[in-house]
């Protein structure tokens, strides 16, 4: 709303003058400048809110990136003297307060295991948003999770084939005999390390690419990490989707449908929220 008023400030001034509204305090040029600078400071929060409120794409993995960028934008405003533009003193105080609150609110966000796993499994970011110490910790955690997925498949058994079962006169005898040599059984942890290191060595994709499409094309290469993606990357950063569902439920329970039971309301709300996925 504040941004809209700033954009139409000429119309606002003219309307107040024409209507002769004396109860409204006329804003001075410095006040309009303050409103404009406030909009600039809050723009990064607006972008973050709009993006993180989505429910059709992966949001949890981008939380660390967005928080870092918010801090960067606010820090750039505080250091704007070097660029030649000087904000109002009250704007600097406002931005400094925003930066302090952002630091305190998200001080331990890198320690959040759910956010860390989602960030790691996003091929657009992987370990990049984290500090070096957090990268090592998260990598160890991912190895444990991948090893657990491997353990669920059961023990890996090698089938030993005796060389005596091959025909020495066959042209493939040497090849078959080589394959008959017993192979070492690799532990789940070792297999997890191999898969994770291979994933980390893959090139990071563009921010505009879809991570789930990437996993769809690479699920056979990273089968155990793909299972983790399906289980861990469905987390939303905000409760906006729940609030949208509550709003839709308000249309279901109307004055003419006040006798609906709890069970029926749950069923109708579920169908309303998932109707695009249901084929009748």
What's the pTM?
A: 0.75
Look at residues 122, 129, 124 and name the one whose alpha carbon lies nearest to residue 225.
122
Q: Specify burial of residue 181 (Cβ count, 10 A radius: 0-12, 13-18, 19+).
A: exposed
H helix or E strand, kind and range, residue 150:
helix 132-152
Q: CA-to-CA distance for 59 and 130, rounded, in angstroms?
A: 16
Q: Quick one: pLDDT at residue 159?
A: 47
55 Cβ contact list (under 8 Å, min separation 6): 236, 240, 241, 244
Residue 229 predicted with pLDDT over 60 = yes
Encode 189-243 in three state secondary structure.
Answer: HHHHHHHHHHHHHCCCCCCCCCHHHHHHHHCCCCHHHHHHHHHHCCCCCCCHHHH
Average pLDDT in the chain: 84
- pLDDT mean over 223-239: 88
Q: Cβ distance 45 to 56 under 8 Å?
A: no
Look at residues 90, 189, 82 and name the one whose alpha carbon lies nearest to residue 144.
189
Q: CA-to-CA distance for 79 and 86, rounded, in angstroms?
A: 9
What proportion of the chain, given as a percentage, has pLDDT over 70? 86
- pLDDT mean over 115-143: 92
Residue 247 predicted with pLDDT over 80 = yes
Q: Quick one: pLDDT at residue 142?
A: 94
pLDDT tens per residue, range 18-47: 777 666 667 788 888 888 899 999 999 999
Residue 209 predicted with pLDDT over 80 = yes
Q: Quick one: pLDDT at residue 90?
A: 92
Who wins on pLDDT, 8 or 135?
Answer: 135
Q: Cβ distance 63 to 112 under 8 Å?
A: no
Residue 220 predicted with pLDDT over 80 = yes
Residue 243 predicted with pLDDT over 60 = yes
Please state at what angle helix 132-152 crosses helix 113-120, rounded to 10 degrees: 80
Residue 234 predicted with pLDDT over 50 = yes
Count Cα neighbours of 37 within 13 Å in the Cβ-side half-sphere: 21
pLDDT tens per residue, range 58-105: 888 899 999 999 999 999 988 876 566 788 899 999 999 999 999 999
pLDDT tens per residue, range 167-180: 677 777 676 666 65
Neighbouring CB atoms inside 10 A of 67's CB total 19
- pLDDT mean over 233-247: 83
Q: CA-to-CA distance for 104 and 107, rounded, in angstroms?
A: 5
pLDDT tens per residue, range 253-268: 888 888 888 898 888 8
Q: CA-to-CA distance for 244 and 225, rounded, in angstroms?
A: 32
Who wins on pLDDT, 162 or 7?
Answer: 7
Q: CA-to-CA distance for 68 and 90, rounded, in angstroms?
A: 24
Who wins on pLDDT, 239 or 127?
Answer: 127
Q: Where are the domains of the chain?
A: 2-107, 117-155+186-232, 240-274
Residue 162 predicted with pLDDT over 60 = no
Residue 194 predicted with pLDDT over 70 = yes
């Amino acid at each position: 709303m504040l941004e809209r008023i700033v954009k139409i400030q000429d119309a606002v001034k003219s309307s107040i003058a024409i209507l002769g509204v004396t109860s409204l305090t006329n804003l001075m040029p410095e006040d309009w400048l303050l409103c404009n600078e406030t909009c600039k400071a809050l723009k990064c929060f607006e972008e973050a809110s709009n993006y993180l409120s989505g429910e059709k794409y992966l949001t949890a993995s981008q939380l660390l990136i967005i928080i870092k960028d918010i801090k960067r934008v606010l820090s750039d405003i505080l250091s704007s003297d070097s660029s030649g533009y000087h904000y109002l003193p009250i704007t600097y105080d406002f931005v400094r307060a925003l930066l302090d609150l952002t630091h305190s609110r998200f001080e331990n966000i890198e320690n959040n295991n759910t956010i860390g796993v989602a960030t790691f499994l996003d091929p657009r970011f992987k370990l990049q948003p984290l500090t070096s110490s957090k990268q090592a910790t998260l990598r160890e955690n991912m190895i444990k999770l991948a090893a657990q997925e491997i353990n669920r498949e059961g023990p890996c058994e090698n089938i030993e084939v005796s060389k005596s079962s091959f025909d020495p006169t066959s042209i493939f005898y040497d090849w078959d005999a080589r394959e008959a040599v017993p192979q070492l059984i690799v532990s789940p942890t070792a297999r997890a390390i191999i898969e994770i290191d291979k994933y980390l060595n893959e090139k990071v994709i563009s921010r505009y690419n879809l991570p789930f499409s990437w996993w769809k094309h690479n699920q056979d290469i990273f089968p155990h990490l793909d299972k983790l993606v399906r289980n861990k990357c469905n987390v939303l950063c905000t409760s906006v989707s729940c609030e949208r569902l509550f709003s839709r439920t308000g249309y279901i329970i109307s004055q003419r449908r006040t006798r609906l039971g709890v069970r029926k309301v749950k069923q109708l709300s579920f169908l309303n929220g998932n109707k695009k996925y249901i084929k009748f």
